[in-house]
Amino acid sequence: MDKIKRLMKGELIGLKVSVVHSKDPSLVGVDGKIVDETKKLLIIESKKNEKKVAKSICEFEFPEKKCKLSGTRIVCRPEDRIKKVR
């Protein structure tokens, strides 16, 4: 199983993440730890505050997993995402 599938099958909460590309330029460079996940959002805790980031408009980099992931691939409820990946 490749890195991206393993990442999509697993829990994202607690992982370090950074936004490397976004349709909203103000989100590029946001980085920190994922503290919550909803169907359409990742809540990322940085040193200053918590930022709500829409999954559908961003590309994320997970430095610990050494991979990038388009947010459109994870726009679903976390429990459904785990079932969806095969």
51 close to 24: Cβ distance less than 8 angstroms: no
- Please state the pTM of the whole predicted model: 0.89
| Residue 33: CATH number of its domain | 2.30.30.210
Give me the number of domains the chain comprises: 1
Report residue 32 as tokens: 């920190």
> Containing domain of residue 50, as a range?
3-84
Q: Using one digit for the tens of pLDDT, what is the confidence trace for 26-83?
A: 999 999 999 999 999 999 999 889 999 999 999 999 998 889 999 999 999 988 887 7
- Residue 63 DSSP SS3: coil
Distance CA 19, CA 11 (A): 18
pLDDT value at residue 1: 47
